[in-house]
């Protein structure tokens, strides 16, 4: 199961993905969050949702939220701190 961090209107979902089974679990967690948000009429702004792959041996799988394929990013700024995939 994935870990979840929440702060105000921001959510981060993350886990270590070592293969297809882990990728399926992370995608299932994303699907459950999407279903919850639609049920409670609080949809995610999917254009602001991104995936960051960490680690040199990362398979760089593709993930979706609903029918939207999440954009891959190499750098994100969060609360003034820049996190880089490198």
The domain segmentation of the chain, as residue ranges, is 3-84
At 25-66, the pLDDT tens digits run 999 999 999 999 999 999 999 999 999 999 888 899 999 999
Residue 1 has pLDDT above 80, yes or no: no
Q: Which one has a higher pLDDT value, 65 or 7?
A: 65
pTM of this prediction? Answer: 0.86
Element (H, E) at 79: none
| Beta-strand runs (E) in 1-86 | 3-7, 10-14, 50-51, 64-65, 68-69, 71-72, 75-78, 81-84
């Amino acid at each position: 199961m994935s870990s979840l961090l929440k702060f105000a209107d921001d959510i981060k979902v993350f886990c270590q993905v070592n293969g297809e089974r882990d990728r399926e679990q992370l995608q299932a967690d994303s699907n459950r969050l999407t279903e919850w948000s639609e049920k409670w009429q609080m949809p995610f702004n999917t254009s602001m949702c991104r995936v960051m792959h960490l680690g040199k041996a990362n398979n760089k799988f593709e993930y979706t939220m609903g029918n939207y394929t999440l954009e891959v990013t190499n750098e994100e700024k969060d609360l003034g701190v820049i996190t880089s995939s490198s």
